[in-house]
Amino acid sequence: MNQPRHFLSLLDLSASEITDLLTRATELKRLQHQHQEHRTLKNRVLAMLFEKSSTRTRVSFEAGMNQLGGSALFLSPRDIQLGRGEPIEDTARVLSGMVDMIMVRTFEHENITRLARYASVPVINGLTDREHPCQLLADLQTWFEHRGDIQGITVAYIGDGNNMCHSWIHAARLLGFRLNIACPEDYDPDAAILQMAGKNVLIIRDLMEAAEGAHLLVTDVWASMGQEGEQSSRAAVFKPYQINADTMKVADKDALFMHCLPAHRGEEVTADVIDGPQSVVWEEAENRLHSQKALMEFLLLSH
Ligand code: CP
Ligand code: NVA
């Protein structure tokens, strides 16, 4: 049997695969908005394994599979034997015999690479502590729909050097745009991920300097899932790294604002920015649905 194609990282796709996949995502969006049937994954089943909370990822995958004519199963470790110590390798082999594709949201990235190694169906990363590649598909689709090509633009990522930051670094490397990262010392992205990215990606400690002239400003929460205990210490360190009206003023006058959500208004972004005219966060969230439908078609029908 052919090895399945997995999507554990944005780097699992080439630049042209991303562009083609997102062109299809925009087409699927049109079909969905016009209530035209597009049941390309009839009777296919997606298992969704969630070790962390989710609104967007869960609903977009489940609704997406339904719209494509298939179905999705929500599996929480509290309910399945994985939570009682059944090895992930065994879970991978058992699920592969019953479903067509597996989506996982977990803590250590290694959990998903182990699962993928033993799965004979495609595995999708629905967020790990290290990466959030599905979110990047939606973010890039949103950029393409608003502004076209992303090559050569400047993106400013303000905040924690976390999973979202890592996936933005991968995007910059693949698609050739400049990424300025403004994060506090000790909260830098992973050194190996940064090093692989080359000269497209710069760490700039000063938020205003990073945002100056940027065409897209992006942020994320200061304390990610699993870091709830650090919430108050992080709030103090990250205070100077808020995107607000002053930050937007130094960016390009047509700059867009993105946030993967959930957002904390008054922390990483002010309400006037996230709810303001330059924010595209609601389309960005909706595009999770369309881009993941295109991803699932790509994984199941093109390979
Ligand atoms: N952006 C995102 O992944 O949202 P959820 O945690 O709600 O899935
Ligand atoms: N960095 C955030 C992203 C949530 C979608 C987290 O991991 O909680």
Per-residue model confidence as pLDDT tens digits over 72-98: 999 998 889 998 899 999 999 999 999
Share of the chain above pLDDT 70, in %: 99
Nearest CA to ligand 1 atom 2: 56
Task: With cut-offs at 50, 70 and 90, classify the pLDDT of residue 20.
Answer: very high
Centroid of ligand 1 to alpha carbon of 53 (angstroms): 8
E strand or H helix that includes residue 73? strand 71-75
Q: Over 70: is that where the pLDDT of 1 sits?
A: no
Q: What is the dihedral of CA 170, 172, 173, 178, to 10 degrees?
A: -150
Q: Is the minimum distance from the CB of 263 to ligand 2 under 6 angstroms? A: no
What DSSP character marks residue 223?
S
Q: Is the minimum distance from the CB of 56 to ligand 1 under 6 angstroms? A: yes
Centroid of ligand 1 to alpha carbon of 60 (angstroms): 10
pLDDT of 247-296, one tens digit each? 999 999 999 999 999 999 999 999 999 999 999 999 999 999 999 999 99
Q: How far apart are CA 45 and CA 153, in angstroms?
A: 39
pLDDT (average), residues 40-65:
98
Question: What average pLDDT does the structure give for the chain?
Answer: 97
Helix axes 56-67, 281-301, angle to 10 degrees: 50
Tell me if 218 sits within 8 A of 258, measured CB to CB.
yes
What DSSP string describes 139-169?
HHHHHHHHHS--TT-EEEEES--SHHHHHHH
pLDDT of 205-231, one tens digit each? 999 999 999 999 999 999 999 999 999
Catalogue the active-site residues.
Answer: 105, 132, 135, 220, 260, 288
Q: What was the pLDDT predicted at 3?
A: 85
Pocket test residue of 62, 127, 135, 291 for ligand 1, highest count of atoms within 8 A of CB: 127
Q: Is the minimum distance from the CB of 55 to ligand 1 under 6 angstroms? A: yes
Pocket test residue of 49, 50, 53, 57 for ligand 1, highest count of atoms within 8 A of CB: 57
Domains of the chain: 10-132+288-301 (3.40.50.1370), 135-284 (3.40.50.1370)
Helix axes 133-147, 163-175, angle to 10 degrees: 50
Q: Over 80: is that where the pLDDT of 303 sits?
A: no
pLDDT (average), residues 105-124:
98
Centroid of ligand 1 to alpha carbon of 124 (angstroms): 14
Q: In what order do the strands lie in the sheet with 154-158?
A: 201-203, 178-182, 154-158, 216-219, 256-259
Q: What is the β-pairing status of strands 201-203 and 178-182? A: parallel
Residue 283 CB neighbours (<10 A)? 16
Q: Is the minimum distance from the CB of 260 to ligand 2 under 6 angstroms? A: yes
Tokens of 152: 């050569």
E strand or H helix that includes residue 281? helix 281-301
Tell me if 179 sits within 8 A of 155, measured CB to CB.
yes
Tell me if 124 sits within 8 A of 57, measured CB to CB.
no
Q: Over 80: is that where the pLDDT of 2 sits?
A: no
Centroid of ligand 2 to alpha carbon of 42 (angstroms): 31
Pocket test residue of 224, 230, 281, 284 for ligand 2, highest count of atoms within 8 A of CB: 224
pLDDT of 233-245, one tens digit each? 999 999 999 999 9
Q: How far apart are CA 200 and CA 152, in angstroms?
A: 9
pTM of structure:
0.98
Q: What was the pLDDT predicted at 84?
A: 87
Q: Is the minimum distance from the CB of 286 to ligand 1 under 6 angstroms? A: no
CA neighbor of 15 nearest in space, from 197, 176, 195, 202: 176
Centroid of ligand 2 to alpha carbon of 209 (angstroms): 25
Task: With cut-offs at 50, 70 and 90, classify the pLDDT of residue 4.
Answer: very high
Longest CA–CA span in the chain (Å) reads 56
Q: What was the pLDDT predicted at 299?
A: 98
